[in-house]
Structure 1
Amino acid sequence: MPQKNLKVAVVAANGRVGQLVVKEAVERGMDVTAIVRGENRTAAEKALAKDALELTAADLVGFDAVVDAAGGWTPETIPAITNVAIHLADCVAGTPTPLVVVGGAGSLFVNPEHAATVDQGPDFPEDWKPLSAAHGAALANLRERADVAWTYVSPAADFQADGARTGEYTLAGEELTLNAAGQSTVSYADYAIAIVDLLESGEHVRERVSVVSK
């Protein structure tokens, strides 16, 4: 059954995806705490100023779900993608608290045998490979965890920061999925809707899913 009025912690909430997830959750009446390193720049009235890697299990007690929205684009920040996912998994390990992770598209499979991934393709930009590897390492770690109620959410290959909020999307599986126009694309805003829908439904525990525009 869908769950309403959830108490949710969004880690790295000041990021572009994090802010949209917070906004969507707040607008649905959820009790949201933004976990940020500095000043809270989100729509959440509650905030905890703390580095994600310094969070403890006690900090996350009492939440109905935790969202890992940590990102990184530079050689210095990219490792945080993997490290934060593993750290948050450790913090909620052995509890029923779901951990929903904002993932990457590079690890999506491109064949039914699941033998090849997007980031192994000849057209995948070399500059993006460290980013994709960090997201992929986080997913690989989660796959080994039977003690965490994780859900890993990959966006479409073309993840559009300034794309329109259409309010529609397709929730797909582990393979790169194209929309009706033959494209793998989704806006940050529609992706945030999917994240909050997953929080409400409580479905796809210990699964990787993907989100693509209609």
Structure 2
Amino acid sequence: MKIAVVCANGKAGSLIVKEAVERGMDVTAVVRGENKTIAPHAIQKDLFDLTVADLAKFDAVVDAFGAWTPETLPQHSTSLAHLCDILSGADIRLLVVGGAGSLYVNPEHTAQVMDGADFPEEFKPLASAQGKALDELRKRTDVKWTFISPAADFQAEGERTGAYILGGEELTLNERGESVISYADYAIAMVDEIESGDHIQQRISVVRK
């Protein structure tokens, strides 16, 4: 498979590249500067400058974009909209590295993780921005998208266990009552979904087994 990982130099993006390369995929890193990943190919462009021609040859595109400052948080929506517009009507799948704040905590889907009293105040703007981007993505019936939320405790330096539980729209806990996953295990789940294509136009979630 030919895949592109947008914002590949980031922590999540670089591990997704590594996982995909080690499974024999033909991986292209989309980066603004020097390619710091192990991807054999690179497109050096800002995400917002990407065109239909840039992404036309891929089977799947991974969006690993992240923004954290008040000025850039709206780019979660605008960057995703740009990628959707590029891939509109194409047979190319779009897989999005999402957040956990928008996962539901009740069967009625009226309460989200970010609504909880114990949710850190400093992370609410990010969770809201990612949730808004997901809400807008749900309206795109012209794109073969999959939005993958990590567990609530998303550990950049966590170990690669090789085992995870696949969840859906609701916050899923493992048998120890934890909602945790490492970036490395998340990368496994992402590449598994690239290979299977089982959840088109769905949000799924992953937690360490």
Same-fold status (TM-score > 0.5): yes
1:44 and 2:39 aligned: yes
Secondary structure of the residue aligned to 1:186 is strand
Q: How many correspondences in the alignment?
A: 209
1:111 and 2:109 aligned: no
> 1:109-136: per-residue Cα shift (whole Å, max 9, x none)?
0000001000011111111111111111
Secondary structure of the residue aligned to 1:131 is helix
Offset, 1:45: 1.1
1:168 and 2:163 aligned: yes
Aligned partner of 1:146: which letter? Answer: T
Rounded Cα–Cα distance in structure 1 between residues aligned with 2:75 and 2:14? 18
- Unaligned regions of 5+ residues in structure 2, if any? none
Equivalent position of 1:157 in the other structure: 152
- 1:1-214 pair list within 5 angstroms: 6-214=1-209
Among all aligned residue pairs of Structure 1 and Structure 2, give the percentage whose two residues are the same amino acid. Answer: 63
Equivalent position of 1:3 in the other structure: none
Rounded Cα–Cα distance in structure 2 between residues aligned with 1:25 and 1:53? 24
Rounded Cα–Cα distance in structure 2 between residues aligned with 1:79 and 1:41? 26
Aligned partner of 1:189: which letter? Answer: A
Offset, 1:80: 2.5
Offset, 1:175: 0.2
Aligned partner of 1:174: which letter? Answer: E
Offset, 1:73: 2.0
Aligned partner of 1:80: which letter? Answer: Q
Secondary structure of the residue aligned to 2:102 is coil
Rounded Cα–Cα distance in structure 2 between residues aligned with 1:9 and 1:49? 12
> 1:140-198: per-residue Cα shift (whole Å, max 9, x none)?
11100110000000000000011000000011000000011101000000000000000
- Unaligned regions of 5+ residues in structure 1, if any? 1-5
Aligned partner of 2:79: which letter? Answer: V
Secondary structure of the residue aligned to 1:129 is helix
Rounded Cα–Cα distance in structure 2 between residues aligned with 1:188 and 1:80? 22
Rounded Cα–Cα distance in structure 2 between residues aligned with 1:80 and 1:196? 25
Aligned partner of 1:37: which letter? Answer: R
Rounded Cα–Cα distance in structure 2 between residues aligned with 1:109 and 1:100? 20
Secondary structure of the residue aligned to 1:112 is coil
Offset, 1:79: 2.5
Q: Cα RMSD (Å) of the superposition?
A: 0.8
TM-score (norm 2): 0.98
Rounded Cα–Cα distance in structure 2 between residues aligned with 1:162 and 1:181? 20
Moved over 4 A (4+): none
Offset, 1:22: 0.2
Aligned partner of 2:56: which letter? Answer: V
